[in-house]
Chains A and B, each alone.
Chain A
Amino acid sequence: MKLVCPAGNLPSLKAAVDNGADAVYIGFRDSTNARHFAGLNFTNAQIEKGLQYARDHQVKVFVAINTYPYPSDFTHWQNAVDRAAGLGVDALILADIGVMDYARERWPELNLHLSVQSSSTSHEAIRFYAEQFGIRRAVIPRVLSLKQVATLIEHSTVPIEVFGFGSLCVMVEGRCFLSSYVTGQGPNNFGACSPASFVRWQETDRGLETRLNGVLIDQVGKGENAGYPTVCKGRFEVMGKTGYAIEAPTSLNTLPILPELLRIGAAAIKIEGRQRSPAYVKTVTRIMREAIDACKADPENYTPKQEWMTQLAALSEGLQTTLGAYERTWQ
């Protein structure tokens, strides 16, 4: 079970490599990837440095080109594929069928991974991409229970990468328009959820209000944590009750189920968070590395250390973690 870690910049890439990542995933500095934030991501020169650093430490580098180009933008995504291929990266993480078709035709030797943004939740969906484009790994959305993940892995001809830690998408990835409904820009068409330019924080008599393009997402009192205003983690009124109608701010943490993920044959475990700091990448990578090694050494007697759980919770949304859909009661 390989550990795949996020890097939004060179210091994060080095932090991931230094702390035990088997692979690091990165993106170009534009809307071709799903963490299209100002100041984030890599220029060619930075990628070359990062690649060298990773190679020197036998760590692989994947490039995410996992948003969906509109017809008039398609050549830009083709160029991104060419650019990644030219740099000699270890794999491309792709979501769009057209882009995959191009990559397969133009660079037949290139290692293609299926992005979580493709919303592939079954072995039949994954088989489509395997037969058509020869993908060699698929990253699956955070919607399946542990048992369903096991069934999928059992039937899949392609190795499966699962999410292990990080901000939790509550909706199936690649099929969530909540951000674009409110702002016009979302993960599929822009590469970002709740883009910062639409976010407003405002102190009022009623407390701190967080708004997304004018829509009141949350309002917190003194001493309460104000989360980043994604629609799915706001407080709203349903049937006369106000609360987290969709999900509370929380992050996914799979440390408690690592032995099961190992047993069912997950090929890799992914950490979310290219938008996070090098300190985040360092801590999460180190803990996940320790945990995976401990789990592999003695799966029967593995239990997550309390200090790991505490440190991960401190880096989580709302300072709390969940097993998310892996656990049926969450659903």
Chain B
Amino acid sequence: MTAETTIHKARKRLSLGPVLYYWPEDQLRRFYDMVAESAVDIVYLGETVCSKRRPLNSEGWLEVADMLTGAGKEVVLSGLSLIEAASELATLKNICANGRYRVEANDMAAVQMLAGKSGFIAGTTLNIYNTHTLEKLARLGVERWVMPVEQSRDILSEFRQQMESSMEIEVFTWGRLPLAYSARCYTARNHCLPKDDCQLRCLDDPDGMLLRTREDDSFLVLNGIQTQSALTQNLVHELNNPDIDIFRISPQSQHTGKIIKVFHECLTGQQDIDQAAVVLESFMPTGPCNGYWYGEAGMLAGCSAS
């Protein structure tokens, strides 16, 4: 690793993914005030997990978007991942028709609304597993692709070798991995509440509810209708990877500003990556998992040296 710690490509950028948890409005606004001052280049905004969470209304989100744009950030509006109700389709339609910001499609309903109309981003929950699929979507307007989290660096490399069109590729670089979505709300279930009367209990858990095995291993995180890994993926050692254009940091309630700073310093050659990896590990809620990236079970530590 030591020979490769200098970063060569200036065009590599940092992004901040959408906040996957439910934070109250004041916390969310303070968070984005911090983000405005931070070194991320791209910010994805919006509710992608549960339509019952409304920390901001659509005008509120656009206010934050404008504030971040003013601070020099590229803003992308992210759509909901699992669409069930007609009202959710209506909200998605408004997001897709916003006219100012590019949209991250996290469901094929959004792809249908955006196809052929404007350039957009294919989010991590779209099932894009091969270049035939990605090329088809590129012809319909996809300009950037966020790779699904279960895919490895070798798969990414196959994509790069086979792709004919130019495509920005973004990788989920830091955070607890989104693993599944359901009709059922597990936060409500574990509070013994029906989903229709969930009392917005997600507000109690700014980083989701930890689920442990009966051997006390931190295993998963329940985040409303979404299930995440309890462990944190950290691909800081991939900042040199020529196949990746954009490195996504997924927000967490603590340390996000510090995490951005460390990644930025590594990208700009101000910090040694091996040392940074040690610092970053202290920002993980429960520990690391990089298995997917190395083609293994996602929960495994994987190999940290590329």
Interface residues of A, Cβ cutoff 8 Å to B: 68-74, 95-99, 101-102, 117-122, 124-125, 127-129, 131-132, 142-145, 148, 151, 170-172, 174-178, 180-184, 186, 188-189, 213, 215-217, 219, 231-232, 235-239, 241-242, 245-247, 324-325, 328-331
Q: Does B212 contact A (CB under 8 A)?
A: yes
Q: Chain A residues near B135: list those with CB within 8 A.
A: 98
Most interface-central of A143, A176, A235 (chain B CB within 10 A): A143
Give CA–CA (A144, B161) in the complex, Å. 39
Residue among B127, B131, B211, B299 making CB contact with A182, cutoff 8 Å: B299
**Is B137 within 8 A of A124, CB to CB?**
no
Contact of B167 with A by CB under 8 A: no
Shortest beta-carbon contacts, A-B, top 7: A98-B132, A68-B129, A124-B109, A143-B183, A181-B298, A325-B183, A128-B112
Contact A331 B109, beta carbon cutoff 8 Å: no
> CA–CA, A144 to B86, complex, Å?
11
Q: How many residues of B contact A (CB 8 A)?
A: 69
Write out the residue numbers on chain A whose beta carbons fall within 8 Å of the beta carbon of B40. Answer: none
Majority DSSP secondary structure for residues of B touching A: mixed
Known: A70-B129, A177-B150, A180-B292. 10 other contacts (CB 8 A): A95-B127, A125-B109, A125-B112, A129-B108, A172-B183, A178-B227, A181-B297, A184-B295, A189-B150, A245-B222
- Give the residue name and chain of the B residue nearest to A102 (CB): B132
B185 within 8 A of A: yes
A241 to B209, CA, bound (A): 12
Q: Which residues of B have CB within 8 Å of A174?
A: 127
- Contact (Cβ within 8 A) A236 B180: no
Q: Which of A172, A183, A331 contacts B195 (CB 8 A)?
A: A331
Which of the listed residues B107, B125, B128, B137 has the most CB atoms from chain A within 10 Å of its own CB? Answer: B107
If A74-B130, A102-B132, A245-B211 touch, does A330 touch B112 (CB 8 Å cutoff)? Answer: no
Contact of A331 among B177, B180, B184 (CB under 8 A): B184
- Could you count the A-B residue pairs with CB atoms below 8 Å apart for me: how many are there? 217
A185 CA to B27 CA, complexed, in Å: 38
Give the residue name and chain of the B residue nearest to A98 (CB). Answer: B132
- Which residue from chain A places its CB closest to the CB of B85 in the assembled complex? A148
A176 touches B212 (CB 8 A): no
A96 in contact with B127 (CB, 8 Å): yes
User: CB of B97 within 8 A of chain A?
Assistant: no
Contact B229–A144 (Cβ < 8 Å): no
Are B214 and A183 closer than 8 Å at their CB atoms? no
23 contacts between A and B (CB under 8 A): A119-B127, A124-B112, A129-B108, A144-B183, A175-B82, A178-B179, A181-B150, A181-B177, A181-B297, A182-B297, A182-B298, A184-B291, A184-B297, A215-B299, A219-B214, A232-B180, A237-B212, A238-B211, A238-B222, A239-B209, A245-B186, A246-B227, A331-B194
Residues on B with C-beta less than 8 A from A235 are: 214
B101 within 8 A of A: no
